[in-house]
Amino acid sequence: MACVSDSQPLGGNVAVVTGASSGIGRSIAIHLASAGAKVCIAARSVDKLEELKSEIEKNGGVAALFKCDVTVREEVIQLVKYAETNLGPVDIMVNNAGVMMYTMMSNLMMDDWDKTIDVNCKGVTNGIGAVLTGMISRGRGHIVNMSSDAGLQGFAGLAVYSGTKFFVEGVSQALRHEMVGKGIKVTCIQPGDVKTNIQVNTTDMEARKQYDASENCKILDPDDIGRAVTYVVSQPDHVAINQLLIEPKEAPI
Ligand SMILES: NC(=O)C1=CN([C@@H]2O[C@H](COP(=O)(O)OP(=O)(O)OC[C@H]3O[C@@H](n4cnc5c(N)ncnc54)[C@H](OP(=O)(O)O)[C@@H]3O)[C@@H](O)[C@H]2O)C=CC1
Ligand SMILES: N[C@@H](C=O)C(=O)O
């Protein structure tokens, strides 16, 4: 590893961040880059990725971008190949891309259920599958999976979403055990409500009106999560922060 300093603890590292075109992923990419990591930013919205790449470079960071739908396994494999060719072997994989739609189970919005499962579950397994062999062969790597406090507790109005985050927790915990002795860390980030545009895809207003509590107190900023992820991946080699529950002070689960 090269260029490690107090201000750039991630110097020499290469990170891939999915769902980097907005919200939490965008902020994670910015924070990792300012800590010295070279970041490959991925999402479907190329215009937003280009704007982010420019911002990172303007601040002295290094970024590459790749258009990728995380539900398509081959595209995620190509994303990691692109990152490795252009930036180097991937040290940090942040499986952040996700969707959330408030909906009552009784309203049977099954297309929303399918989409949530595809992006939040398969997006994460595709991301893990794309980096795991390389990380094991190098004997180092950190996989950071974006869970939620809804991965620890089922939320009414977010039943399928909660289920997908429980899936992320289960996969991560089992993978962590499998990776003992192989040099690979697996972390779940578990945010409470964060101020992003994640709710724009909700069409079931009955569910949102009844269960969305994000207006009830000061919620988190994406920067709070970007900072937390940078902390998690900057620990000494022998330290593994396996879970990080980060919530608005006034809204604990
Ligand atoms: N906001 C919150 O309160 C919380 C959010 N989270 C989790 O944080 C993560 C990010 O959410 P947040 O930043 O809030 O939401 P945003 O809607 O702001 O960002 C979602 C990101 O995911 C990307 N994305 C969605 N679908 C796909 C896809 N099929 N392929 C590739 N990228 C995709 C979007 O990019 P594009 O559309 O360009 O592809 C976008 O960059 C999610 O996993 C979410 O569950 C967890 C806890 C709380
Ligand atoms: N805060 C969580 C559930 O309500 C989330 O947005 O993931």
Ligand nearest the Cα of residue 75 is 1
Residue 100 CA, closest ligand 1 atom number: 45
For the segment 169-178, the average pLDDT, to the nearest whole number, is 99
Residues with CB under 6 A from ligand 2: 100, 148-150, 155, 158, 192-193
Q: What is the ipTM of this complex?
A: 0.99
For the segment 222-242, the average pLDDT, to the nearest whole number, is 98
pLDDT of residue 204: 97
**Ligand 2: distance of its center to the CA of 36 in Å?**
29
**Ligand 2: distance of its center to the CA of 212 in Å?**
9
Tokens representing 33 are 């880059």
Residue nearest to atom 3 of ligand 2 (CA): 150
Percent of the chain with pLDDT over 90: 97
For the segment 157-175, the average pLDDT, to the nearest whole number, is 99
Handedness of CA 129, 70, 174, 114 (dihedral sign): negative
Residue 48 CA, closest ligand 1 atom number: 38
Is 12 a residue whose pLDDT tops 50? yes
Ligand nearest the Cα of residue 225 is 1
pLDDT of residue 136: 98
153 Cβ contact partners less than 8 Å away, ≥ 6 residues apart:
162, 253
For the segment 11-40, the average pLDDT, to the nearest whole number, is 98
91 Cβ contact partners less than 8 Å away, ≥ 6 residues apart:
13, 14, 15, 37, 140, 141, 142
Core vs surface per residue 222-232: b (16+ CB within 10 A) or e = bbbbbbbbbeb
**Ligand 2: distance of its center to the CA of 183 in Å?**
31
Ligand nearest the Cα of residue 96 is 1
161 is an active site residue: yes
pLDDT of residue 7: 86
User: Phi first, then psi: what are they for 226, rounded to 5°?
Assistant: -60, -40
pLDDT of residue 3: 54
Tokens representing 151 are 């991965």
Domains recognised in the chain with CATH numbers:
14-246 (3.40.50.720)
Residue 98 CA, closest ligand 2 atom number: 7
CA atoms of 235 and 232, how far apart (whole Å):
6
Q: Which of 26, 126, 196 to mutate to test the pocket of ligand 1 (most atoms within 8 A of CB)?
A: 196
Is 205 a residue whose pLDDT tops 70? yes
Handedness of CA 234, 223, 75, 83 (dihedral sign): negative
Catalytic member of 102, 161, 211, 231: 161
pLDDT of residue 2: 47
The per-residue pLDDT for range 120-156, each reduced to its tens digit, is 999 999 999 999 999 999 999 999 999 999 999 999 9
